[in-house]
Amino acid sequence: MKHTARSFAVLASVALLAGCAGPKTTYLTLAPIPGTRVETASPPLAIARVRMPAAIDRLYLTTATGPATMAVADHARWVAPLGGEAQSVLAADLAERLPATTVLRPGDPTPNGGARMVEVNVTRFLPGPDGVDLDAGWRVTARRDHRSIAQGRATITVPAGATPAAQAEAMSIALGRLADRIAAGLTS
């Protein structure tokens, strides 16, 4: 009986050590990307929401593996859900591009009156064999009367490396390019 208990303890120790030696999880985040500044003063701007498809708004990195297939990474995960990450980074990107405009960050209180609200509906935002594809529609409305001020659609592809870190960097660049288009739409 002692021999069996000792064998079990040895096997449990080996299994525990094998689990510790497995692949480490890579934690990813999106980062603001510098862009072209647009010198225009306007009412405050708030990123009201960035909607992501449920298939990609998850904690683990999702990649396209073919026209109708995706893979969810085992050891590459976002530090927060992708939709929240994109909302924060898009606010930072727009603040960089619109220095004379107060860009409210997610969670900031919106002022009474003249704030404009940005809504983004993402239909595709994931790395694949050809790089990162971002397809999104956006609209800026007046907070008071919900009047549309500007809107557009962007389809952006950014080359990406094969590692999760390179893919997250390319996703950040794609969001920066979306911010460029939104800022340009506000000044035209």
Phi, psi of 69 (to 5 degrees): -135, 150
d(Cα 79, Cα 112) in Å, to the nearest integer?
33
Domains and CATH numbers, the chain: 27-187 (3.40.50.10610)
pLDDT digits (tens, 9 = 90+) for 147-184: 888 999 999 999 999 899 999 999 999 999 999 999 99
Over 4-44, what HEC string results?
HHHHHHHHHHHHHHHHHCCCCCEEECCCCCCCCCCCCCCCC
CA 174 to chain centre: 9
pLDDT digits (tens, 9 = 90+) for 72-98: 999 999 999 999 999 999 999 999 999
Tokens representing 29 are 């985040």
- Model confidence pTM above 0.95: no
pLDDT digits (tens, 9 = 90+) for 142-151: 877 778 889 9
pLDDT digits (tens, 9 = 90+) for 39-58: 877 788 999 889 999 989 88
